[in-house]
Amino acid sequence: MLWFSQIEFISRDAATTQRKLVAVREWDAFVAALPQSARARCAMLLERITAPRAALQMGTHRVSLEQPQVMAIINATPDSFSDGGKNLDTDIAAKAAVAMSTAGAAIIDIGGESTRPGAPLIAEGEELNRVAPLIRRLAGAGTAISIDTRKAPVMEGALQAGATMINDISALLYDDRAVDVARKSNVPVVLMHAPSQSNDPHKDGVYDDVVYDVFDWLEQRVSAVEAAGLSREMILVDPGIGFGKTLADNLAIINNLAIYHGLGCALLFGASRKRLIGALSNEAEAADRLGGSIFLAIKAVEQGAHIVRVHDAAETIQAIKVWRGLRDAALQG
């Protein structure tokens, strides 16, 4: 639930960007004085911002977005930046996933390929072999599973094993068949922004204004995927913290995260244990970034993020519960 008393009007062209804060009570009069095309655009964006987000239907699971939810990360890889090798054993990974689900994580996100800078590309078969046994075990036990992949054959295999969401860092652009797989599967799909859809998603990160460039890119991508047959209600957007973005870029996106509600989709945020936390805290190693990860998760839910993707599920869920208690008490007071 997102409350606001002001609306920021943003207009930009090739040369300039103009921003103006307008009180909600003055918004209609402000918009009435704009050119017709701008009035129509404002009406559409406000409708997208204020429209309730439908619950995600993940197989037999219904994930409500009325309150922030946690997506817990399981990396079934030997070389992920924060926990590489920890969850290669299916028994160990399943135990960790069950603990996260028991703690309150709504979704378990399982990936078999590291996307850290410099990570090697692996074969589709190897990637699927890493994730499919774990997905089958967890799905059989009743867990809602997301598959973190950009490869259509891995999506298909994971969905057959029991996954009921696709989380694609390339926004269904890396593999020519990905859009078709997503459309036919009729499961929720996460479209993440990355500046490159090549083997290296971190390259080519050059922006005029990163907040608005990412918004425009995601808006175009959502429209394209919707035109291909996916319902907007089934699309989630992720601005891609850490992918082809400088520290300044990441901080700008985080501080302006609420703008992405204008896309009319559920908003997913993932900054858990990422490099920016180390950059702001004496180069703390990935395993020592819990405090920063929790703070960024709360910063995101304060701006209306519907799902936060994290490594440390129990700690993040506890923090969100405390945040909700404070918020609810303030609203009642």
The catalytic site residues sit at 274, 309
For 21, residues 6+ apart whose C-beta sits below 8 A from its C-beta are: 6, 7, 8, 9
Burial of 153 (0-12, 13-18, 19+ CB in 10 A): middle
In angstroms, the CA 209 to CA 201 distance is: 19
Closest by alpha carbon to 304, among 2, 65, 8, 42? Answer: 2
CB distance 292 to 280 below 8 Å: yes
CB distance 167 to 235 below 8 Å: no
Tokens of 279: 């950059």
In angstroms, the CA 109 to CA 167 distance is: 8
